[in-house]
Amino acid sequence: MKDGFGREIDYMRISITDRCNLRCRYCMPEEISWVPMEEILTFEEIEVVVKEAATLGIKKIKVTGGEPLARIGCPTLVGMLKKVPGIEKVTLTTNGVFLSKYAEQLKEKGLDAVNISLDTLDEKRFEEITGRDELKAVLDGIETALELQIPVKINSVLQKGQNEKEWQALAELAHHKKLDVRFIEMMPIGYGKKFEPVYNEELLKKMEEKYGELKPDTRVHGNGPAIYYSVPGFEGSIGFISAIHGKFCKSCNRIRMTSTGDIKACLCFDESLSIKEALRAGDMEEVNHLLVLAISNKPVSHQFEQKEMITEQREMASIGG
Out of ligand SAM, ligand SF4, none, which partner does residue 236 contact, by CB within 5 to 8 A per kind?
none
Contact 34, 199 (CB under 8 A): no
Q: For residue 246, which amino acid is it?
A: G
155-193: string of b/e by CB count within 10 Å (b at 16+)?
A: bbbbbeebbeebbeebbebbeebebbbbbbbbbbbbbbe
Out of ligand SAM, ligand SF4, none, which partner does residue 242 contact, by CB within 5 to 8 A per kind?
none
Residue 27 in the binding site for ligand SF4 (CB under 6 A): yes
Pick the binder of ligand SF4 from 49, 61, 63, 66 (CB under 6 A). 66
Q: Which is nearer to ligand SAM, 18 or 52 (CB)?
A: 18
Say whether 81 sits in a helix, a strand or coil.
helix
Which residues from 186-215 bind ligand SAM, rule CB under 6 A? Answer: 186-187, 189-190, 192
Out of ligand SF4, ligand SAM, none, which partner does residue 155 contact, by CB within 5 to 8 A per kind?
ligand SAM
Residue by residue, DSSP assigns 43-68 as HHHHHHHHHHHHHTT--EEEEESS-G
Q: For residue 258, which amino acid is it?
A: T
Q: Which is nearer to ligand SAM, 28 or 278 (CB)?
A: 28
Residue 239 in the binding site for ligand SF4 (CB under 6 A): no
Residue 130 in the binding site for ligand SAM (CB under 6 A): no
Which residues from 87-126 bind ligand SAM, rule CB under 6 A? Answer: 93-95, 117
Q: Which is nearer to ligand SF4, 183 or 211 (CB)?
A: 183
Q: For residue 166, which amino acid is it?
A: E
Contact 23, 132 (CB under 8 A): yes
Q: What secondary structure letter does DSSP report for 2?
A: B
Pick the binder of ligand SF4 from 51, 61, 65, 236 (CB under 6 A). 65
Residues in CB range of 91: below 8 A, 6 or more apart:
60, 61, 62, 63, 111, 112, 113, 114, 115, 222, 223
Give the x-and-dash track for 101-120 against ligand SF4 (CB under 6 A).
----------------x---
Residue 61 in the binding site for ligand SAM (CB under 6 A): no
DSSP-H helix ranges across the chain: 43-55, 74-82, 99-108, 123-130, 135-147, 167-171, 173-176, 200-211, 276-280, 284-296, 316-319
Report the interface residues with ligand SF4, using CB under 6 A: 20, 22-24, 27-28, 65-67, 95, 117, 317
Report the interface residues with ligand SAM, using CB under 6 A: 20, 26-27, 64-65, 67, 93-95, 117, 155, 157, 184, 186-187, 189-190, 192, 316-317, 321
